[in-house]
Structure 1
């Protein structure tokens, strides 16, 4: 059922610079109301909206509680918040008030409204908190709550005047809750309508899948999301997918392959990155140099070091530690000391890893006196 959610929607026309978003013909059916207030009672929607808008902050909450002690339905809450959507902080306070006083049994429809309102105001942290809370809401059928929430977010998108990254927040929240299959499926449904998540969302998805399911699975997700990995050129990538991988995408892939000892795959990802016109940064070089050092190819690692300097990339502590470690393992402690001195002259502070690499290097060449000097320096600096 979830995979069919977006197929019933069209795309809203936007200017070329704006992302495409779902279009839905909105009616009150998006927020079904099963109860109506008795005729002798004040209309909660207009009354509460007026109180929250015009009353002073100290009296508004007590007035609402006095007039509506039995609270509100999720539909009424949604309609009130829609009237207040240009004041998102007030909407959030109203939500917290209904929670604290148990005035509304919130369901996914009321959650979707406030999530949209907080997203359009770029209150992303708060929106993600409510997304996670909504996902934990017990469902009424066998469909996972994150799919049902996604459906409601699509249906109420335009009525709430939301922002496209609300779906990125949903994907990231699912990732944080370890709902990997749901995250992947939501991304697929978005991309089936050529609505591309942000590249940082795609990178987070790839990293989490690689961490939990292995680097090879993460690479499969990468190929699916970006439409690459089968020898496509840079122009092909632009045509296949609206979102393009960046250097952080490739750094994540290389790091995952490196941690699993798949050093040949690290080099393959590097070549793919270059073929697609993505410029590596110092961290990219650090991972590839670490792969070379792991294979004992210290000369190749030093060539990369020189190439990085020629391109104007300043080595960071990760790069220094990587090459120093490779040199120490290869018994080239003099060259390692030279890099250590260069690092200090450049104002880069050594870490515990730096000292451990040097101590191991001196021990490897049986220079225990120098190893003890490094150890004492390490202790003096409170490592």
Structure 2
């Protein structure tokens, strides 16, 4: 074998001798190899193992073929102990190798499953992001339409006020219209805020400088989705981000700040102060804590007073409670001749504990 190796001749040699297996292990340019053998079926598996020598299965095969056990045992007794130990070591190595292969295959399977889940998550987030932008766009368009309608109504009321003889009522109208225009401006700013909350992917120039804080809008490039920061963990350098229906903990370094948290100022109450006859009843009526019958009496008087001074919009506060006052108030408003339209309050108006009313024009 040394001669063949020195001459550079590729040689395949088969052997059962342990000394030759050791020779192959210790000699440069020589390697062990073996073909696996299934002792249960007494047939080779044709699986080639490079680097591992095979073990002799002669005695195992003899026993399975029915050779007299006494003869097999006598043969085993003549085998050198170091050979038996080497065979046992080879068996242990093969089992360890097989276990390692199975572990590696399971790891690859988990990796493939993770890639599929990530792809599915990306797809879902993309759909959610598309739907979110569509909803925000529709909301923005609706708010802009309502603002335009309110602006036209305010301008019409201002023209009516100018044609009214000057007096306490005309002055009250002028003050109301001024305050209403301020409220209209505030709502216009709210529409702009909605526009800003539509976060779209873009270049690095679109990023906003500053630390990431709760309420900020961020872009997650790896998932191609935008979301809102719910929590920040400085110790671990991570943050909880709401991406559609998913709440994910992500490294802060993977988040691109696109919009700082919008801090909404509370809406100021709009009231009309006037002197002389015909005072304004104010822009809102608070019925919380009242009995239903007493509350409905106050509501009737308030509607008449508000219509008398030509208030276009009013706010009825009934709260939630048992729901009796809310139901009674809305039943009255639905059929009242002075009410043009009504709706439940939005989040910044008091929610369902408030009913917003638009009175008919006089």
What TM bracket, shorter-length normalisation?
Answer: under 0.3
So what's the TM-score if we normalise by structure 1? 0.20
> Quick check: which one's helix share is greater?
1
Greater C-alpha Rg: 2
> Quick check: which one's strand share is greater?
2
